[in-house]
Structure 1
Amino acid sequence: MNVIAAVKSYVNKMNEESEPGMKVLLMDKETTSIISMVYGQSEIQQKEVFLLERIDSPNYANSTGLRYLKCLVFLRPTQQNIQALCLELRNPKYGAYYIYFSNIIAKADIKILAEHDEQEVVKEVQEFYMDYLAVNPHLFSIGLPTCMFSGNWNPSALQRTVQGIVSVLLSLKKCPTIRYQANSDACKILGQRIDEVLNKESSLFSFGQNSQSMLLILDRRDDPMTPLLNQWTYQAMVHELLTINNNRVNLSNVPGIPKEMSEVVLSAEQDGFYARNIFMNYGEMGTSIKQLMDQFQTKAKSHQKIESIADMKNFVEAYPQFKKLSGNVAKHVTVVGELSSMVNKYNLLDVSEVEQEISSQTDHSAHLQSIKKLINNDKVRDIDAAKLVMLYALRYQNHSNNDVKSLISLLKKRGVSDTLLKNTVNILEYAGSHARQSDLFNVENAVKITKRFIKGLSGVDNVYTQHKPVLHETLEEIVRGRLKEQLYPYIGSSYNNGRYQDIIIFIVGGATYEESLTVHSFNKMNSPTFNVLLGGTTIHNSASFLQEVEQAMKNVERTHTRHIRNVTFD
């Protein structure tokens, strides 16, 4: 189950099925993101694609077009896109149109398009199921920054999520058993809506003999700790500290950054160094960057001797690779340099040590003192100070000596923003013990911690890698065939004694790169017996997760946090 390979195969098929010759690729905002996640612009242009256009761009509406070019159309089947395409076909800019929709399209919409194709320029209409963002081979996102409002599904986000998951299933040719987290209405509703589509479109899902597959729908609220923690593997760390948006990282705010480095692309498909180091931890990244620099310097030196025509020819042939390598060196040195600067500037090693201890151990008095000390440290960022209080509030919510009030008072005294203060309350209302099905802080933790110290990642002191997401335990239960039906009920009547080979896990409220690492490690150990694919409404870092929490808690009555509400909002 490789979502990047699935999307790439559709793009290749799209290009191969049209007639040879120069083409235009016409997309919308979302399908542009879908394709850019797996292909760079130069790679697309190598497939005889002369122009990339956006149907929703005002500039495109006013352009004249080139009738001798063929047009590959890749759009989401929305009403807005259908209307725009009708206008396009009534006055076609190009000689022939090959139309591909990213998901199931209604027969009525195809009829409307046919009626507008008065000049008979449409050569083909097909459904190519790539209505999601393929982030890593085992990770996909629907691309929704938030999905809940006032404690319930935002209706448009629910519809978009159903469409995204359905397209994942179709692209991978899976018709799975659906299970969901029992205490989550959001998971149940999503599961039911997907099941309705599977039944309605049963002919599309009749894949014949298929491996046993399961779609397991989980709620972000069951594990609020994971998205709050600082991260120490390359991809996760970049997202936490700099933010990755559709494989792009904005560095324009970095002091003294060269113009060409103001935005960089981090794509494992187009960047071998990134592919090799995506799950490497911070300690190992320094060694990897040094090796990349040495490799570059060796190649740079070898090209200084050009004494003959043959030397020139060899140089020219090697130059594109040389240029690419030099760009890669500069990019990763810049990114890792900025990460290193932020780690030192904001005391992130000290912050992370306390975060990890709170998430993995129980020592109320020591944790309280450590948090107070860091709140009073001027080098620590406001968001890190507030997150420490949130982690404390979650772990010690029911502790007899809970002192979250004094910690919030210290945050107020420090001058932390009202938004962060409110989120210390929101997080408990959103994902406190009343909202969780799993026990985040079970009594087996001491045993697990001992194992983690032994099995921890090399290169970074194990103190920074103690935490394991709840998803880790869930996967262990699946392997043992012990996923309890009362905790994860079935939708529909597909039972198979709980034994599955292909497992698609979807997290309502967003997945994280730490969970992606968990799945990657699990697949390495258990493939081909088990193959896990992870998806989420979005891929969170701590800042985006807190926006999700804030949106979900708007207009929700605070029934579980009245005891700390006054100290926050007075």
Structure 2
Amino acid sequence: MTSLKTVTKQLIINDVLRGTASNNDNKNSNDLNPDWRVLILDKQATTVLTSCCNMQGITTEGISMVEDLYKKRQPFPSLEAVYILQPIEKSLNCLLADLNSDQTMYKAFHIFFLEICPMESFDTLCEVKHKRRIKTLKEINFSFIPAESNVYLLDAEESMKFYYNPQQNDDGKTLMELQRLAERLATVCATLGEFPSIRYRAGYPKNVVFAKTLERKLQEYKTSDQAMGEGPEKLRSQLIILDRGFDCVSPVVHELTFQAMIHDLLPVKDNIYTIQSQNGRTKEILLDDNDESWKSLKNTHIAEVMQKVPEEYKKFLESKNIHSNKTNIKDLQLMIKKMPQYQKQLTMLDTQINMAADCNSAFKKIEKLCEVEQDLATTVDSDGEKLRDPMSQINPIILDFDVFTEYDKLRVIILYILFKNGVAQSSLQKLLQHANVSSDMHSIVTNLSLLGQNVISGEGNSGNQIPRKNRENEGVRYKLSRWIPVIKDVMEYALEDNLDKRLFPFQLNRLSETGYRVPTSTRYGWHNQGSLPRNRPKIIIFVMGGVTYSEIRSAYEVNSQQNDYEVIIGSTHIITPQRFLENLKEL
């Protein structure tokens, strides 16, 4: 199975760093080692590289220092320099300043562009003062963040504003933003070697504009690399464009898998979780897939995490010939503090125990809220009965000023509005008033209409027209996790060749039938399966305006259920419920 992190890391290491290594045997003892090079990055390159490479790995490849392109730098005329940058005005101007400098900045210049560089910029580089020192000038087509093995991000949270706010519909500015995002998304396809057929949700007008823009960008990459997308398997690959309005339930409902809960309920920032060490100092832990134990637990339901973490701890104790009958989280936390000799090995386990305990504590406070959310999201109660009086369920939530936060109440109000497909203006005002929602937060609810949802009855918005799959035969394992993100239906419809062609038209040519049929669900158990075959055709999902952790989990589940296709999912950014509400407020 393709790993975006692995592919992109190999690209940086092999094509950029090893590809520019010097074999100069005429070493001057007075100079720095000529095999060492300086790595110079602009803002986008820094974001991209830190997502897939670490400093130790970069140093191993002969990089003596990493510098910021935008800052004043000391010349190293005895060293070669490797530049990685976007071909944008600010970065190009800094590069040109180095190439036209009166003093020799570096012995040689190896220049790599993250995207296709305009021809006029190439022409300018041919006229610089130190043009003879340019040894490499190449486009590496890599302008996205490989967040996980099957997840990519375009690092463009601001897309919500220009894509959904009608007041920012300046054609020139909007087109520039669409071109920028299309360029980055095209580099995802280029990195994977894919030239997919493009499909888009027809319910939002800008989707077709973006699809056409992306098509033109892919054609540019195809022109420069004719092998892109070649082969019988790759001919079946699809890229599906979704606007965030296709599913507004998943971004607000409480998801009870480990990673989603941590980011929703705990103070985690930039994937860093802070814990208190034995001496009372705080310790920052990076939640990263390089840790296999975290990778195996992150998409696991919290009920299973509470069982597995103690089991992992007991396995560790047995490996050290330490016997204990402790099974609950609190006892384990105390035991870890009494074993300082194993602190390094126990760091991640300690983190997981802390996070599991914190998640469980937070969950106990919102358990009733989760039940109400699931009923509203699925439109039925835990027994499968149609909801008769949802207002009687949400009233205890919105009138509770001790347990539930303003954001909690906004989430349940949004779910109620989506359940009703819009409410009367007077009813909305009463809901917000009774919940004591501050006036500056009202726009969070009303701006849902900009995503195509009916907030007020009779607004005439299309809402979500994607038919839901019948999953009655799959059963429900957890009553508070009955909601299944709409995106999972979209993925499976695409695999089955049953994705409605009116709701999801092709930008160009129609694909042949896949011949695939989705098997029985393996929900919450997919992460225990072995690796999957490589070189399968891809279903590349792109969500404009943020993707949720539950939707990312769904992609992994679909991959685990079949071997015919590989799903790659991405977006402008990852959204937690609070981040989604904040994005709505800013529209």
TM-score, shorter chain, exceeding 0.5: yes
SS across alignment from 2:78: coil
For 1:136, the aligned partner's letter is: E
- Give the deviation of 1:140 after TM superposition: 0.9
SS across alignment from 2:251: helix
- Give the deviation of 1:172 after TM superposition: 0.8
Alignment of 1:491-502 (within 5 A): 491-497=507-513, 501-502=537-538
- Deviation readout 1:110-152 (Å, 9 max, x if unpaired): 2322322526332211111221111121111111113133236
Alignment of 1:530-569 (within 5 A): 530-552=565-587
Q: Confirm whether residue 487 of structure 1 aligns to residue 497 of structure 2.
A: no
Contact 1:222 1:437 in 2 (8 A): yes
Change (3 A) 1:9 1:279: same
Partners in 2 of 1:350 and 1:510 — Cα distance?
27
Alignment of 1:264-343 (within 5 A): 264-268=285-289, 270-294=290-314, 324-343=344-363
Please name the residue that 1:312 is paired with.
none
Contact 1:103 1:163 in 2 (8 A): yes
Partners in 2 of 1:178 and 1:283 — Cα distance?
39
Please name the residue that 2:260 is paired with.
236
Please name the residue that 1:508 is paired with.
544
Out of 393, 399, 403, the residue aligned to residue 370 of structure 1 is 393
Partners in 2 of 1:156 and 1:260 — Cα distance?
44
Contact 2:37 2:64 in 1 (8 A): yes
Out of 145, 154, 158, the residue aligned to residue 157 of structure 2 is 145
- Give the deviation of 1:412 after TM superposition: 2.6
Change (3 A) 1:478 1:93: same
Identity %: 19
Out of 365, 376, 382, the residue aligned to residue 358 of structure 1 is 376
For 1:483, the aligned partner's letter is: L
Change (3 A) 1:2 1:255: closer
Partners in 2 of 1:384 and 1:300 — Cα distance?
44
- Deviation readout 1:286-338 (Å, 9 max, x if unpaired): 33433454466567789xxxxxxxxxxxxxxxxxx977534323443444344
- Deviation readout 1:215-248 (Å, 9 max, x if unpaired): 1111110111111111211222222234766x53
- Deviation readout 1:92-118 (Å, 9 max, x if unpaired): 533332221111112221232232252
Partners in 1 of 2:132 and 2:138 — Cα distance?
16
Change (3 A) 1:336 1:540: same
Deviates more, 1:24-33 or 1:198-207: 198-207
- Deviation readout 1:399-425 (Å, 9 max, x if unpaired): xxx578456535434432223322222
Please name the residue that 1:5 is paired with.
6
Partners in 2 of 1:357 and 1:38 — Cα distance?
40
Change (3 A) 1:380 1:256: farther
Please name the residue that 2:77 is paired with.
67
Change (3 A) 1:439 1:11: same
- Deviation readout 1:447-485 (Å, 9 max, x if unpaired): 63x445x253xxxxx112101111122223223222222
- Deviation readout 1:233-264 (Å, 9 max, x if unpaired): 1222222234766x533649x99996552x43
For 1:8, the aligned partner's letter is: K
Tell me the number of residue pairs that the alignment of Structure 1 and Structure 2 aligns: 510
Change (3 A) 1:341 1:257: farther
Please name the residue that 1:109 is paired with.
121
Please name the residue that 1:418 is paired with.
439
- Give the deviation of 1:80 after TM superposition: 0.9
Q: Confirm whether residue 159 of structure 1 aligns to residue 194 of structure 2.
A: no
Please name the residue that 1:29 is paired with.
43
Please name the residue that 1:99 is paired with.
111
Change (3 A) 1:100 1:200: closer
- Give the deviation of 1:367 after TM superposition: 2.3
For 2:262, the aligned partner's letter is: V
- Give the deviation of 1:7 after TM superposition: 0.9
Contact 2:245 2:464 in 1 (8 A): no
For 2:5, the aligned partner's letter is: I
SS across alignment from 1:518: helix
Change (3 A) 1:185 1:410: closer
Contact 2:378 2:482 in 1 (8 A): yes
Please name the residue that 1:471 is paired with.
487
Contact 1:242 1:251 in 2 (8 A): no
Please name the residue that 2:556 is paired with.
520
For 2:258, the aligned partner's letter is: Y
SS across alignment from 1:97: strand
Aligned Cα RMSD in Å?
3.0
- Give the deviation of 1:486 after TM superposition: 1.6
Q: TM-score, normalised by structure 2?
A: 0.79
Please name the residue that 2:532 is paired with.
none
- Give the deviation of 1:174 after TM superposition: 0.9
For 1:97, the aligned partner's letter is: F
Alignment of 1:48-197 (within 5 A): 48-56=62-70, 60-61=71-72, 63-91=73-101, 92-118=104-130, 120-147=132-159, 148-149=161-162, 150-151=165-166, 154-197=174-217
SS across alignment from 2:199: strand
SS across alignment from 1:68: strand
Alignment of 1:184-263 (within 5 A): 184-207=204-227, 208-211=230-233, 212-242=236-266, 248-249=271-272, 251=274, 260-261=282-283, 263=284
For 2:88, the aligned partner's letter is: T
Please name the residue that 2:333 is paired with.
none
SS across alignment from 1:175: coil
Change (3 A) 1:112 1:259: farther
Contact 1:505 1:535 in 2 (8 A): yes
Structure 2, unmatched stretches of 5+, are 23-34, 323-340, 381-385, 455-459, 517-536
Change (3 A) 1:466 1:68: same
- Give the deviation of 1:371 after TM superposition: 0.9
Partners in 1 of 2:90 and 2:435 — Cα distance?
48
- Deviation readout 1:416-457 (Å, 9 max, x if unpaired): 2223322222224533254446447x6x78x63x445x253x
Out of 366, 381, 389, the residue aligned to residue 413 of structure 2 is 389
Partners in 2 of 1:257 and 1:223 — Cα distance?
46
Contact 2:110 2:137 in 1 (8 A): yes
Structure 1, unmatched stretches of 5+, are 303-320, 457-461, 553-570
Contact 1:217 1:507 in 2 (8 A): yes
Contact 2:115 2:139 in 1 (8 A): yes
Partners in 1 of 2:75 and 2:99 — Cα distance?
12
Partners in 2 of 1:407 and 1:255 — Cα distance?
47
Q: Quick one: higher RCO (CA 8 Å, sep 6+), 1 or 2? A: 1
Partners in 2 of 1:196 and 1:156 — Cα distance?
14
Partners in 2 of 1:119 and 1:484 — Cα distance?
54
SS across alignment from 1:483: coil
Partners in 2 of 1:267 and 1:223 — Cα distance?
28
